[in-house]
Amino acid sequence: MTVHEFRGDLGVFTPPKSPVALQGRPPILLALYWPGMLVHLLKSKIHRGQVTAANLNYEGSMSIDRDLMDKVGLLPYEKILCSNMANAARFETYAIPAERGSRQIVLNGAAAHLGKPGDRLTIMSFTEVDATEAKFWKPNVIVLGENNAVVNERGI
């Protein structure tokens, strides 16, 4: 066995030159041979958020009730990926806080063309996690119902 080989439950493992060749292997192997390797995982998700308004003349972004943002750990000006359940549109923008308790989710600027009041959105943000910690990672997720009230939560 050489210095770069690993002996374990999977037998003797000699790492390939690229982490791509490790797809499907346990995350611990990634960390052993590429220390500090990061994987992109879901951090925060607001599921079934209902658009309350669309403001084409605003500079851009999406306004989200600050209470909802805090609940899932979404930061002001954080990049978000959104998918519209009504028309299948997917777009990236950034979150800005709307008034606490307002239950507002407002499409601003160009994003206002990608939805209308009443549409249901999935709003997601992502983070980078060390490969050794990835299998223990749990995102913060809320599911919204009527009037954007929280009806379910996970990881919180």
Are 66 and 81 members of one domain? yes
Confirm whether 97 is domain-assigned: yes
pLDDT over 50 at 2, yes or no: no
Confirm whether 95 is domain-assigned: yes
Give pLDDT, residue 116. 97
Confirm whether 148 is domain-assigned: yes
Are 54 and 31 members of one domain? no
**For residue 22, what are the domain limits?**
6-35
Are 97 and 59 members of one domain? yes
Are 15 and 45 members of one domain? no
Give the mean model confidence (pLDDT) for residues 56-69: 94
Confirm whether 1 is domain-assigned: no
Q: Are 101 and 14 in contact (CB under 8 A)?
A: no
pLDDT over 50 at 3, yes or no: no
**Alpha-carbon torsion 125, 131, 133, 134, what sign?**
positive
pLDDT over 90 at 84, yes or no: yes
Number of domains in the chain: 2
CATH of the domain at 138: 2.40.40.20
Are 90 and 137 members of one domain? yes
Q: Which residues make Cβ contacts (< 8 Å) with residue 74, sequence separation at least 6?
A: 44, 46, 64, 68, 80, 95, 123, 125
Are 109 and 84 members of one domain? yes
Residue-wise pLDDT for 102-146, tens only, equals: 999 999 999 999 999 999 999 999 999 988 888 899 999 999 999
Are 26 and 92 members of one domain? no
Are 48 and 114 members of one domain? yes
Residue-wise pLDDT for 34-59, tens only, equals: 667 889 999 999 999 999 999 999 98
Query: Is 77 an annotated catalytic residue?
Result: no
Are 16 and 68 members of one domain? no
Query: Is 94 an annotated catalytic residue?
Result: yes
- Selected catalytic residue, list 44, 61, 63, 125: 61
